[in-house]
Homo-oligomer: A and B are copies of this chain.
Amino acid sequence: MGDRPQRDFGNRTPLEAAYTPHMDRLVKNGWAGLMDPVNPGIPPGSDVAHFSLFGYDPYKYYTGRGGLEAAGAEIRLAPGDVAFRCNFSTIDDNFTVIDRRAGRIKSGTADLAKALTGMQLEKASNVTVDFVQTVEHRGVLVLRGSGLSRHVSDVDPHQVNVKVLESKPLDNSPEATRAANALNEFTRRSYVVLKDHSVNLERIKHGEKPANIILSRGAGTFPQLTPLSTLYGVRTACIAVVALVRGICKIAGMDVIDVEGATGGLDTDFMAKAEAAAKALESYDYVLLHVKATDVAGHDGNFDAKKNAIENIDKMIGKLLDTTDMSRTYLAVTADHTTSVSVKDHSGDPVPLLIAGPDVIASNIGKFCERTVAYGNLGRLRGFNLTPILMNYLGKTSKFGY
């Protein structure tokens, strides 16, 4: 939701330009401030940002993207297992990358995954291979074996017309060396297994690029998070479509609520999400309502689409307020990071934050935006302060000391 002033749009941010009567009313009567999702100037990924928003210091708890991909795909990792985010890709005989998405392959990946799972590695003989395809050209690789580290580099070069990379250990531990060796062997072997697979022979016959190698990146282990329910004695749920966010919510112990019409895009059904959140609040203490649309518009560099998404979010909040007993509910409105329409990617800017509810102190700010909340009564917080602050109002924090 946050952004920078845009010269082509009257030096306003999308949030400033948007008509947001509900958020404006909330910020006036609530706490207001800026929040650094992780640390000032550091652009967080959505994964790291959500760790922080849920109160887990990502510097302490984040263990790489692969572990979250595995969680999202319902794969359980044991200590010593390492997981990777993967693409089915196309290379030539010299291991030069032709297409990182194998012509955006859509079918047959389940069969290809089956051919990879259980693969016997020869050098890394104590490592077993698990491979699950997820959406389109994407999948998750799990290398299982006691003592594999996530501190290894990617084999995916993240561009075409260059060779597949050798994974290298990123520290001096034997665990990292073992994991890099296993990943390199798996990568070479995946080419051997996949290049003449019937699915690929069929694709070649139809003039499609074969999915003849697995390119892995983002090594990760399973994050050891104590669920919010255990930490605070609360029932928690999330309403989110994006797989990564759902995965983190699950790891944090939340129930994931599906909403018909929610898409993770600009066309998501905002009102259906509001209704689901209001309903969830009847049986849960803590509900995350996640909207992806503003981030999508930011990546697209589309000011008007972002402004429009913010106005839809405001209507969604209006609906939520209409159907929720606000005399006993706290509502925080914020973003997990800034995706500025001029940067077209995550940036390290602070995000605006408001906290409304019965026991807060009114900021008397007239409009909810980046410019005003910088002078707000919350001061400048960090992402992982948010959940403890909310739990404090719910009376769910335990005393530190006596």
Contacts and interface: CB of A to CB of B under 8 A. Distances in A.
B359 A397 contact: no
B391 A41 contact: yes
Interface in A358-400: 359, 361-362, 370-371, 374-375, 377-381, 385, 387-392, 395, 397-400
Closest 9 A-B residue pairs measured CB to CB?
Answer: A45-B401, A41-B388, A48-B401, A379-B380, A374-B377, A348-B392, A41-B389, A40-B385, A45-B402
Contact of A377 (B38, B218, B375, B400): B375
A65 interface: yes
Contact of A374 (B40, B347, B361): B361
Interface string A1-12: 000110000000
Contacts of A210: none
A47 B402 contact: yes
A42 interface: yes
Contacts of A41: 385, 387-392, 397
Given A58-B400, A348-B391, 5 more contacts: A4-B359, A4-B361, A45-B401, A62-B401, A362-B371
A371 B359 CA distance: 12
A253 to B, nearest CB: 19
Contacts of A347: 392, 397
B361 A392 contact: no
Contact of A381 (B40, B46, B387): B40
A45 B348 contact: no
29 contacts: A4-B359, A5-B361, A39-B385, A39-B388, A40-B381, A41-B387, A41-B388, A41-B390, A41-B392, A42-B397, A43-B392, A44-B401, A45-B399, A46-B401, A48-B401, A58-B400, A62-B401, A65-B401, A244-B402, A343-B395, A347-B392, A347-B397, A348-B391, A348-B397, A361-B370, A361-B371, A361-B374, A362-B371, A378-B380
Contacts of A398: 43
A47 B361 contact: no
Q: How many copies does the complex hold?
A: 2
A228 to B, nearest CB: 13
A348 B43 contact: no
A250 B354 CA distance: 42
Contacts of A399: 43-45, 345-346
A342 interface: yes
A252 interface: no
A30 to B, nearest CB: 12
A49 interface: yes
Contacts of A392: 41-43, 347-349
Nearest to A342: B359
Interface in A148-177: none
Interface string A128-145: 000000000000000000
Interface in A329-359: 342-343, 345-349, 359
A34 interface: yes
Contacts of A390: 41
Contacts of A374: 361, 377-379
A185 to B, nearest CB: 25
Q: Which of A58, A361, A385, A400 has the most CB of B within 10 A?
A: A400
Interface in A196-237: 218
A78 B19 CA distance: 61
Contacts of A395: 343
Interface in A303-349: 342-343, 345-349
Contacts of A218: 402
